[in-house]
Amino acid sequence: MTTVLIVDDQPLQRYGFRMLLDSVPETEVIGEAAHGAEAVRKAAELRPDVVLMDVRMPGMDGIEATRRIVAAGDRSRVLVLTTFDIDEYVYAALRSGASGFLLKDARPEELLAGIRAVASGDAVIAPALTRRLLQEFARLVPPAGEDSAQDPRLASLTDREREILVAIGKGWSNGEIAGRFVLAESTVKTHVGRVLSKIGARDRIQAVIFAYDQGLARPQGGTVQASRPRRGRRDAP
């Protein structure tokens, strides 16, 4: 059972989400919030598995609420859901620690699959947003060869773990990494878990951001490495 806190300033929108989530046995809505400050308070009080977070709300917006929920260090993971596909929202949401970003026009099955993925420790981004997100990373990452201070967390990685981090940054799944490095998927999963722990990343999305920040990964020929979340997918960590 995945517990969910719904955060949206529109009562009708919250009602719609609740109706959808209550219609499936694997999710349980344990609370609602109408603005960011209430979301932060209820997340600390209820400790849901997933916080379904709107962006634009009066007072504290969803980006700041996400940042505070993540900073609290509780188990709750945030899935940002918004009508607006503005690039700055996506980037800011992921920077603040969100584990995923979907648009409100996602199909019900996509939303449910996204909640399952985030709850299991995976991460998800709406396919339509992935290319622009990678382009934003490319714009912000220093050109190859440009001197920059290396994050000390990189020094804690073994050579193999660094290779795994680069692969994560390219968007490869555990299966793809296993095939490339001729490793068992269970071994890859162990390596990925160690990488996330050493760099302080909550999930693969945060590891991708770290890899791009360090110049270890860049968009590959304009391709998109993300896909829609699928039922039963268990590629985490």
Element (DSSP H or E) covering residue 159: helix 159-169
Q: Is the pTM of this model over 0.75?
A: no
pLDDT digits (tens, 9 = 90+) for 34-54: 999 999 999 999 999 999 999
Mean pLDDT confidence for 186-206: 87
Mean pLDDT value across the chain:
81
pLDDT digits (tens, 9 = 90+) for 139-172: 555 554 444 457 888 889 999 999 999 888 877 8
pLDDT digits (tens, 9 = 90+) for 73-123: 888 999 998 876 665 677 777 778 888 888 888 899 989 998 998 888 777
Closest to 173 (Cα-Cα) out of 222, 100, 124 = 124
Q: Which parts of the chain are beta strand (E)?
A: 2-7, 27-33, 50-53, 77-82, 100-103, 124-125
The tokens of 115 are what? 């909640």
**What pLDDT sits at residue 139?**
58
Say whether pLDDT at 227 is over 60: no
How far apart are alpha carbons 81 and 65 in whole angstroms? 13
**What pLDDT sits at residue 149?**
55
230: left (phi over 0), alpha (psi -120 to 50) or beta: beta
8: left (phi over 0), alpha (psi -120 to 50) or beta: beta
